[in-house]
Amino acid sequence: MTTAHTILVVDDEPSICWALEKMLTSEGHEVITGSSAEEGLRLAAQNDVSMVILDVRLPKEDGISALPKFLEATDNAPIIIITAFGDLETAVAAVKNGATDYLTKPFKLEDALRTCRTALQKSAHRTAPAATQPMDIDPSVLVGTSPAMQQVFRQIALVADSDLSVLITGETGTGKELVAAAIHRHSRRADGPYIPIAPVALNPDLIESELFGHVKGAFTGASDDRAGLFERAEGGTVLLDEIGDLPLGTQVKLLRVLEQGQYCRVGDVKPRTANVRILAATNSDLHEDVATNAFREDLFHRLTGVQIHLPPLRDRVEDIGPLCRHFLAAMKYADIESAVDDELLEQLHSRPWHGNIRELKNAVGHAAVVSRGRKLTIDDFPEPKPGRDAPTTSPVLAMEKSIRVWSENAIEANPDSVTLHSDYLAATEPTLLRTVMKHTGGNRAKAAEMLGIHRGTLRDRMKAYGIDDQ
Ligand SMILES: Nc1ncnc2c1ncn2[C@@H]1O[C@H](COP(=O)(O)OP(=O)(O)OP(=O)(O)O)[C@@H](O)[C@H]1O
């Protein structure tokens, strides 16, 4: 059975108060309601309140600025903020000012109930809230009015102030890097460095030295001690972009940083403490990489503790209008309001946007130049980008990755191996031979010609691998 609590609901919309009251009384709680911050504070002073549900939009003083007063009046009871205007700014402001959680109108009652139950559990272990700070937010950075983006803003707000590592997922161009930057900007580390790194862009032979630094003489060319990116990000945040591309050996070291907060420079045995928050982003399916042993399962679980997923733009078309206006404003386009009409928006909504917001941004830039300040039409926009069916990774790159993963696993399994090359051929050659034989309808002579090897060699290899002519 749940313990009965007194819950204060402060909202100037009677229907919201009524719905919450009904929901919470059916859980056995007592509900008192106020329609302004002033009335709510009076009620909070007169009652032993276990939780407050506070609307942001109130007639005189708004919910965000009244929040610290409610915390004081209720001896730091959990406070759930409700707003119809849920943007990142409001979400972060609410959490920074001490709110426990955040609900965006219209909300489902079952979601509200879940949020209330969690908050009430916290009520049992009240602690003083973190010191509040004035906010320094550029509200134009992350644009989005869709429910999906509201959820993303809420997640950013809830995780920003902690030191948790976060995995940000989503197709290319959905704004993963922007979300990572927003988490850093709204975190306690905001004054520290923010370093985004794409491992794929680093020299594969030097990747560990790039990340963790090295000591003099660690390898040929290491003429001096050198700090790595983790050291340079001291006190700040590192974004590991496309984390799936991290070599397996480096994944082990990253896990150590995540679990023990420690790493060593290459060639050094002295562990160093990493005072760095790690964010990671990927547009590939890490589950698949785990299944093929390209990504360590332990690291995967460590990283997926907190995950923020950015849906593709085609699943949140409501954001297209605000994004278009945002990009036009950034270009100082004349008369933004009439530049994008409903007819154009409808046409833009039906595009697939495989390149997501990056494609939209480029397309709007293109259209703005072509239209020279007049109202935009669909003809001003470039052709849509090819679909997702067109592979984003070339088969050669995919093969390179598979070979790299296979080699790293084989070396890890048997560091003293002396048969790597023949093991590799045995793993790959049968597929090649079978494919060519199938193509030639089982004609060995033709197959040998295509392969550029002698018929006898082909025969021997097929025999060795147990491949028959069919
Ligand atoms: N919600 C948004 N509001 C405004 N601009 C956005 C938003 N999301 C993305 N953008 C812009 O779209 C472009 C692509 O965003 P970003 O680089 O963050 O995507 P990504 O998901 O990290 O892409 P990739 O996986 O290819 O690295 C950037 O120019 C970014 O500023």
Cα separation of 28 and 2, whole Å? 8
Residue nearest to atom 8 of ligand 1 (CA): 175
CB within 8 A of 11, min separation 6: which ones? 17, 20, 33, 35, 53, 54, 55, 58, 82
Look at residue 72 and tell me whether its pLDDT is greater than 50.
yes
Q: Taking the CA of residue 202 as centre, how many other CA atoms within 13 Å lie in the half-sphere pointing to its CB?
A: 23
Share of the chain above pLDDT 90, in %: 35
User: Strand order of the sheet with strand 79-83?
Assistant: 30-34, 6-10, 51-55, 79-83, 101-104
The H or E element spanning position 368 is helix 356-371
Instruction: Tell me what the mean pLDDT of segment 306-326 comes to.
Output: 93
CATH architecture of 6-123: 3-Layer(aba) Sandwich (3.40)
Select the CATH number that applies to the domain covering 313-380 from these four: 1.10.3720.10, 1.10.8.60, 3.90.1170.20, 1.20.950.20. Answer: 1.10.8.60
- R_g over Cα of the chain: 29
Pick the more confident residue, 188 or 127.
188
Cα of 39 vs centre of ligand 1, distance in Å, is 43
Q: Read off the pLDDT of residues 109-163 as tens digits, 9 standing for 90 and up.
A: 888 898 898 888 766 545 433 333 333 334 346 888 888 998 898 899 889 888 8
Q: Which among 153, 177, 279 is the best mutation to test ligand 1's pocket, defined by most ligand atoms within 8 Å of the CB?
A: 177
The arithmetic mean of pLDDT across residues 284-292, rounded, is: 87
Which of 282, 357, 364, 392 has most ligand 1 atoms within 8 Å of its beta carbon, as the pocket-test mutant? 357
Residue 130's Cα: distance from chain center in Å?
Answer: 25
276 Cα: distance to centroid of ligand 1 (angstroms):
23
For residue 129, the model assigns a pLDDT of: 39
Q: How far apart are CA 449 and CA 64, in angstroms?
A: 76
Q: Which residue has the tokens 């049992």?
A: 124
Look at residue 42 in the predicted model and tell me its pLDDT: 92
**CATH numeric code, 395-465:** 1.10.10.60
Given a cut of 90, whether residue 378 has pLDDT beyond it is yes
Tokens 């060519």 belong to which residue?
Answer: 436
CA 178–ligand 1 middle distance (angstroms): 6
Express each pLDDT in 107-122 by its tens digit.
888 888 988 988 887 6
What ipTM does this complex have?
0.98
pLDDT tens for each residue of 338-368: 889 999 999 999 999 999 999 999 999 889 8
d(CA 303, CA 300): 5
Which residue, by CA, sits nearest to atom 25 of ligand 1? 172
* Interval between CA 35 and ligand 1 midpoint (Å): 40
Q: Whose CA is nearest to atom 23 of ligand 1?
A: 173
Of 201-215, 226-240, 378-392, minimum mean pLDDT range:
378-392
* Peptide bond connecting 134 to the previous residue in cis, omega within 30 degrees of 0: no
147-310 has which CATH code? 3.40.50.300
Query: Is residue 470's pLDDT more than 50?
Result: yes
Q: Give just the sign of the alpha carbon dihedral 382, 387, 390, 392.
A: positive
Strand partners, 104: 83
CA 329 to ligand 1 centroid distance, Å:
17
Delimit the CATH 1.10.10.60 region(s) of the chain. Answer: 395-465
Task: Cite the residue boundaries of each domain of the chain with CATH code 3.40.50.2300.
Answer: 6-123
Every domain range in the chain assigned CATH 3.40.50.300: 147-310
**Ligand 1 pocket residues where CB is under 6 Å:** 142-144, 170, 172-178, 241, 281, 283, 323, 326, 357-358, 361
Rounded to an integer, the average pLDDT of 259-272 is 90
pLDDT in tens, 218-240: 888 888 888 889 999 999 999 99
CA separation for the pair 39, 65 (Å, rounded): 15
Burial of residue 419, with CB atoms counted within 10 A of its CB: 0-12 exposed, 13-18 middle, 19 or more buried: exposed
Atom 12 of ligand 1, residue of closest alpha carbon: 358
CA of 173 to the centre of ligand 1 (A): 5
Higher pLDDT: 88 or 293? It is 293
Which among 140, 141, 178 is the best mutation to test ligand 1's pocket, defined by most ligand atoms within 8 Å of the CB?
Answer: 178
Give me ligand 1 centre to Cα 134, in Å: 27
**Predicted pLDDT of residue 127:** 43
The residue whose CA is least distant from atom 16 of ligand 1 is: 175
Has residue 89 got a pLDDT over 80? no
Residue range 23-41, pLDDT digits in tens: 998 888 899 999 999 999 9
pLDDT at 309: 95
User: Would you give the end-to-end CA distance of the chain in angstroms?
Assistant: 69
